């Protein structure tokens, strides 16, 4: 071979060496370094402060009764979130009741000791709204005051009883009409046996037809009656919100207006070999199921139902809780992190954090026995595991800021929270559960901003085939704050809870669930977890005032960056909107989106 041929061989060997070295170092997987893509446009602060008082509500409660004190706090908190003023007064005082209140909320069951009942009757007769937020006590020898039965349009027909389920007869909760659930659940409400008057509008009943919420015209005003109580869970927060929204005419309140979807444990190591349930139904191994069936299905759903996924990464499925924490061995898990992660980001999704492994960051006493988890001995061990997670993800995505954290199994101790903050100070948002049983020791959240500037944005429902109670929870929370927040796991087909479900059944259940969400709440804008922060921050920081005139409603807003969203409850028809837009979202409900600090909603003239 001549010198030229030898030189050519040497060059070829060098090029092949570079090729294989580049491949070994994931070069072809990482040709494009991903940075956070900001899908929420930057915007300047909008609006200037407008003079005028906040809308005001009077809450009457019993300071000697624990459920009443709780109801007062829950209602005052809800009004504060809506930028409205709550005036709380004892039922034992001679409180002034006048037309300056948009509504009066009687959040007590001891009606016989409520001093201002005659004033409430006068207030309603002159055009006000009185909302009875819980049914009265019924004791032997002590009747329900006649004036209350007259105002609310009912007669006591017996004592208390427990009824099952929910039936929404109207759009009192917008986009809820026709919905029902309860069969096979433990969702009971303690109610009062009553007989209603002709003309009462029954908005909600139990499955057996027992009235749970109705409306009665009284003089020039009206009364609302909730035949239950303010629950100590959050499942009826939508009912409370709807009652506030039906106080007076043309009520309006702010919402966030977003739709979130989380995939926990994704990207994550994929089990090798065959899983009998998958192989018997689909004739593929586990890795091929995830790559060629599950992930294409999820991508199809994102496109069909307008979803943006937030994927939560774990490095290992091991149960190690003591260092040193060894990096995941082999290429497959790392390749999955890069390939699936890149495809998720290409779809407009987000990569967030779940953990080094799936062991919840908590010491003993956090329900580990039930979950077959191992408690952590110290915060230092938690920190060390998260440092290995940081090394792992930054080796694949060095320029990406991970801003979202979801705790494994939605459990996070104070020590675990501190460990996460120490290793990932750039985090913006924590997402866990909105509600649940205390005995399960979950990390339960309200929508909130923490003192350190991070945010709490919870999830409400989960799974590929959610039951009807899950849909009720979505209807309730969307009426409250205008957020849909759901999560799934890639491997739910493996779960004991899914033993009676095939993949085909899960696919159909998922389609049914997402189609119903879109049919009822198609106006929600899809966002990732950290993108939601921008809209939620505006929801917290903005303020507004409302002016009502005979032919229009004027909405003035300030201290916000992005278009704001409101829910307007009105039986009137909108003729025109200037400075914003309107979309009908229920029989008597509109979603108003502001485009300018002043939005004017012009009403149609009634036909003569």
Class of domain 258-535: alpha beta
Q: Does residue 154 contact residue 225 with C-beta atoms inside 8 Å?
A: yes
Q: What is the pLDDT of residue 573?
A: 98
Q: Do domains 56-249 and 258-535 have the same CATH topology?
A: no
Q: What integer is the mean pLDDT of 293-322?
A: 98
Burial letters 389-401, b for 16+ CB under 10 A, else e: beebbeebbeebe
Question: In this structure, what token pair is assigned to residue 495?
Answer: 């779960």
Q: What is the pLDDT of residue 99?
A: 96
Please give the Cα distance from 433 to 457 (Å, whole number).
Answer: 9
Q: Is 297 a residue whose pLDDT tops 60?
A: yes
CA Rg value for the chain:
28
Report how far apart the first and last C-alpha atoms of the chain are (Å, whole number).
103
Q: Is 24 a residue whose pLDDT tops 70?
A: no
What is the full DSSP assignment across 196-237?
Answer: EPTT-EEEEE-TT--EEEEEEEETTEEEEEESS---SSSTTH
- Lowest mean pLDDT, pick from 31-45, 88-102, 153-167, 321-335: 31-45
Question: Measuring CA to CA, which residue among 183, 239, 226 is closest to residue 477?
Answer: 239
Q: Does residue 311 contact residue 263 with C-beta atoms inside 8 Å?
A: yes
pLDDT in tens, 493-517: 988 889 899 999 999 999 999 999 9
Tokens 């909105």 map to which residue? 434
Cβ atoms < 10 Å from Cβ of 375: 15
Please give the Cα distance from 305 to 314 (Å, whole number).
Answer: 26
Please give the Cα distance from 264 to 352 (Å, whole number).
Answer: 9
Q: What is the pLDDT of residue 584?
A: 98
Confidence of residue 25 (pLDDT cuts 50, 70, 90): very low
Q: Is 9 a residue whose pLDDT tops 70?
A: no
Q: What integer is the mean pLDDT of 562-573?
A: 98
Percent of the chain with pLDDT over 90: 83
- Please tell me whether the peptide bond between 267 and the residue prior to it is cis, using omega within 30 degrees of 0: yes
pLDDT in tens, 337-370: 999 999 999 999 999 999 999 999 999 999 888 8
Higher pLDDT, 119 or 30: 119
Confidence of residue 10 (pLDDT cuts 50, 70, 90): low
Find the helix or strand (DSSP H, E) in which 160 lies: strand 154-164
- Alpha carbon separation from 322 to 367, 371, 413, 418, 521 (Å, rounded): 19, 19, 17, 17, 46
What residues contact residue 243 under an 8 Å CB cut-off, 6+ apart? 105, 131, 133, 213, 224, 226
Q: What integer is the mean pLDDT of 55-70?
A: 97
To the nearest 5 percent, what fractions of the chain are helix, strand and coil?
35, 25, 40
The number of residues in the chain equals: 608
Would you tell me which CATH number, out of the four given (3.40.50.2300, 2.40.30.10, 3.40.50.720, 3.40.50.880), belongs to the domain 56-249?
3.40.50.880
Q: What integer is the mean pLDDT of 297-322?
A: 98
Confidence of residue 2 (pLDDT cuts 50, 70, 90): low
Q: What is the pLDDT of residue 46?
A: 78
- pTM confidence score: 0.93
Please give the Cα distance from 335 to 350 (Å, whole number).
Answer: 18
Q: What integer is the mean pLDDT of 224-249?
A: 92
Q: What is the pLDDT of residue 272?
A: 80
What is the overall mean pLDDT for the chain? 92
Confidence of residue 217 (pLDDT cuts 50, 70, 90): very high
What residues contact residue 288 under an 8 Å CB cut-off, 6+ apart? none
pLDDT in tens, 372-422: 999 999 999 999 999 999 999 999 999 999 999 999 999 999 999 999 999
Please give the Cα distance from 503 to 497 (Å, whole number).
Answer: 13
What residues contact residue 224 under an 8 Å CB cut-off, 6+ apart? 129, 130, 131, 132, 213, 214, 215, 243, 246, 247
Confidence of residue 607 (pLDDT cuts 50, 70, 90): low
What distance lies between CA 328 and its chain's CA centroid? 34
Q: Does residue 265 contact residue 312 with C-beta atoms inside 8 Å?
A: yes
Higher pLDDT, 139 or 595: 595
Give the residues across from 574 on adjacent strands: 603
Q: What is the pLDDT of residue 29?
A: 45
Please give the Cα distance from 252 to 413 (Å, whole number).
Answer: 38
Q: Does residue 279 contact residue 294 with C-beta atoms inside 8 Å?
A: no
Tell me the angle at which helices 379-396 and 414-423 cross, rounded to the nearest 10 degrees. Answer: 40
Ordered by start, the domain boundaries in the chain are 56-249, 258-535
pLDDT in tens, 432-457: 999 998 889 999 999 999 999 999 99
Please give the Cα distance from 29 to 333 (Å, whole number).
Answer: 13
Rounded to 5 degrees, what angle do the CA atoms 236, 237, 238 make?
Answer: 90
Burial label, 124 (beta-carbon count in 10 A; 0-12, 13-18, 19+): buried
Q: Is 141 a residue whose pLDDT tops 80?
A: no
Q: Is 32 a residue whose pLDDT tops 70?
A: no
Q: What is the pLDDT of residue 19?
A: 42
Q: Is 37 a residue whose pLDDT tops 60?
A: no
Question: In this structure, what token pair is assigned to residue 127?
Answer: 């055009």
* DSSP classification of residue 113: G
Q: What is the pLDDT of residue 23?
A: 42
What is the full DSSP assignment across 549-564?
Answer: ETTEEEEEEESBSS--
């Amino acid at each position: 071979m001549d010198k030229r041929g030898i030189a050519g061989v040497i060059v070829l060997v060098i090029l092949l060496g570079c090729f294989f070295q580049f491949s070994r170092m994931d070069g072809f997987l990482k040709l494009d370094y991903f940075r956070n893509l900001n899908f929420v446009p930057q915007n300047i602060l909008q609006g200037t402060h407008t003079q005028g008082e906040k809308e005001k509500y009077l809450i009457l409660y019993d300071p000697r009764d624990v459920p009443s004190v709780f109801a007062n706090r829950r209602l005052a908190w809800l009004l504060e979130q809506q930028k409205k003023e709550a005036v709380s007064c004892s039922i034992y005082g001679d409180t002034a009741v006048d037309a300056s209140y948009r509504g009066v909320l009687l959040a007590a069951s001891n009606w016989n000791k409520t001093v201002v009942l005659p004033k409430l009757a006068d207030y309603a007769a002159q055009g006000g709204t009185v909302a009875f937020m819980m049914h009265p006590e019924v004791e032997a020898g002590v009747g329900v005051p006649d004036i209350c039965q007259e105002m609310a349009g009912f007669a006591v027909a017996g004592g208390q009883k427990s009824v099952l389920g929910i039936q929404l007869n109207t759009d009192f909760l917008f986009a809820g009409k026709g919905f029902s659930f309860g069969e096979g659940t433990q969702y009971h409400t303690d109610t009062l046996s009553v007989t209603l008057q002709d003309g009462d509008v029954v908005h909600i009943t139990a499955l057996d037809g027992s009235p749970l919420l109705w409306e009665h015209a009284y003089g020039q005003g009206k009364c609302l009656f909730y035949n239950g109580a303010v629950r100590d869970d959050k499942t009826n927060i939508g009912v409370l919100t709807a009652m506030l929204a039906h106080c007076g005419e043309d009520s309006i309140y702010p919402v966030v207006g977003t739709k979130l979807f989380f995939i926990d444990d994704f990207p994550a190591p994929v089990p090798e070999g065959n899983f009998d349930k998958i192989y018997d139904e689909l004739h593929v191994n586990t890795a091929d199921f995830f790559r060629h069936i599950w992930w294409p299905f999820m991508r199809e759903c994102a496109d069909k139902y307008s979803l943006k996924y937030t994927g939560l990464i774990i490095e290992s499925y091991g149960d190690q809780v003591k260092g040193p924490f060894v990096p995941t061995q082999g290429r497959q898990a790392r390749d999955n992190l890069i390939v699936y992660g890149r495809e998720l980001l290409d779809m407009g999704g987000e990569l967030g954090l779940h953990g080094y492994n799936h062991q919840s960051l908590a010491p003993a006493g956090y329900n580990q026995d039930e979950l077959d988890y191992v408690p952590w001995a110290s915060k230092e061990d938690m920190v060390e595991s998260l440092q290995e997670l940081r090394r792992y993800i930054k080796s694949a995505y060095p320029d990406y800021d991970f801003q979202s954290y979801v705790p494994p199994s939605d459990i996070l101790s104070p020590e675990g929270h501190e460990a996460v903050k120490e290793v990932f100070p750039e985090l913006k948002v924590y997402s866990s559960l909105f509600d649940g049983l205390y005995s399960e020791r979950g990390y339960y959240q309200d929508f909130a901003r923490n003192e350190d500037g991070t945010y709490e944005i919870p999830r409400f429902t989960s799974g590929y085939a959610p039951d009807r109670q899950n849909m009720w929870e979505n209807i309730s929370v969307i009426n409250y704050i205008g957020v849909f927040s759901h999560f799934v796991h890639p491997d739910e087909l493996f779960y004991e809870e899914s033993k009676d479900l095939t993949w085909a059944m899960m696919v159909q259940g998922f389609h049914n669930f997402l189609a119903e969400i879109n049919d009822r709440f198609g106006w929600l804008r899809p966002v990732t977890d950290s993108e939601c922060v921008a809209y939620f921050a505006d929801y917290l920081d903005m303020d507004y005032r409302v002016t009502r005139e005979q032919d229009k409603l004027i909405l003035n807003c300030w201290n916000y960056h992005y278009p704001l969203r409101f829910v307007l409850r009105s039986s009137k028809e909108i003729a025109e909107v200037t400075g914003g837009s309107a979309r009908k979202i229920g029989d008597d409900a509109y979603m108003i989106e502001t485009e300018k600090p002043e939005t004017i909603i012009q009403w149609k003239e009634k036909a003569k």
